[in-house]
Structure 1
Amino acid sequence: MSEFLRSRRARLRPRDVGLPEYGGRRRVPGLRREELAQLAGVSVAYYIRLEQGRGRNVSSAVLDAIATALRLTSAERDHLMHLARPVSRRLRPVARPQRVRPALQQLIDTMENVPAYVIGRRLDIIGWNRLARALLGDFAALPPEHRNLAWQVFLDPSARALYEDWDAKAADVVGYLRRDAGRNPHDPDMASLIGELSLGSPEFRRLWAAHDVQDKGFGGKVLHHPLAGRLVLAYETLTLPADPDQQVITYHAEPGSPSAAALRLLASGQEKTTERTLSCSEA
């Protein structure tokens, strides 16, 4: 929590929150601790203990006041709450294996003209339909440890060619991963993944050090597909109420657009490939 609070404090100037800038040139950027304490209505000594990780049993009211003073987004506010009250190892239930329910897999399989895939903890890709596989990569051909959205974006060179704005995609993915790390602070697989990404990608190290948190559920992406060409797509992220650790992500194009036609052609190509595969197996 200490690094997160310092990073959020560093991005604000006194004028951003209606305070005068006293004291001339500052040694470090952002609000001073005493200024933030003043805005949050807590003592400077109390806030210092909290930022240094020495606060215990912090009330929701104090956390909410600090979040408001720091101008946190809803995702950042939620992240702060998780950091301030981590679930102990003894109280945390054993994580279940990540599996897609058969009915959910059947559902996304019926979405023949909509690329859809399912992510779980750590952004692991745990389910997909044929069109997602054609659009984003052959997940089935990858070893399980590489079926991960963050691994794909930072350690698979083809991702840089696929996403027109790779920098924005990379920042989003790190924000999602930071959010998940806050919710699962004792996950050894998460620690292993972050270590691998840090060793393999200087861009990941830089973005991870910023402590930004992301929880955007929809938006747009432009992809450059080797067969379908340039695709302007919108995405939606649907969290499963029965299993909040799993999310279904879908892509779609504006009806009647060239991107919609390209997606239909891509889907048609997948169907023909499947038919040829079935014919060969029956023979």
Structure 2
Amino acid sequence: MPLDIVTVPCLSDNYAYLVNGPDGVAVIDAPEAAPIIAALDERGWTPGVIMLTHHHHDHVGGVAELREKYSCMVMGPKAEEAKLPPLDMALPDGMSGGTGDGEMQVIAVPGHTLGHVAYYYPKGGAVFTADSLMALGCGRVFEGTMDMMWETLSKLAALPPETMVYSGHEYTTSNAKFALTIEPGNAALKSRVEAVEQARADGQPTAQVSLSLELETNPFLRASRPEVKEALGMAGAPDAEVFAEIRKRKDNF
């Protein structure tokens, strides 16, 4: 049974995801309950579990209402257990479970927060990255270090390129404008920016994208590329330093 993944817009620019697979229905992040309940009701689905990526309120605000309505389990990163809503299961880095396309692995992706995790479905070809790797961007480095976030992005970049990346916010338009300041001559990026603008004009989400396209266009993943280093006047600099410069520029963009 292949994964049936539903993108659920929440709040002003957040996303939750419904993942229906051989082991049932999971909700990944719960910014608010109402749109998630509506999406579940529309499909006649009942979630068995809510899986949280990190402790920020805009990813957990709907947990209590969903738990009360569905009596579902709540799971989240063990490293942030004290900051999360009460967990039925705290998940350490490297833990795995599930069957077939529903097999899931917990990947530690610190930087945005210290205990942030991603949920990777190797057979289902999907990774849910929330505020670590984002479409044409990455999360702000709030709790970790720049080196930590670069290590996280490098880890995610090493996944199979056909993997679909599902991130936590609709920030792609602003990320695209910034990306063009780093690589204005990147043909793949220019083409993607046009596609993003059209999709948003049509009311379509754009935070769900193949890793291969991210590798071609996301400046944060491309900090190791010689052409990016040269464009920044940092030829020969360590990759992590180049990433840190890109992140600082984005923070001030």
TM-score range, shorter chain: under 0.3
Find the structure with the greater CA-based Rg.
1
The structure that is helix-richer by fraction is 1
Return the TM-score normalized by structure 1. 0.24
The structure that is strand-richer by fraction is 2
Return the TM-score normalized by structure 2. 0.26
Relative contact order higher in (CA < 8 Å, ≥ 6 apart): 1
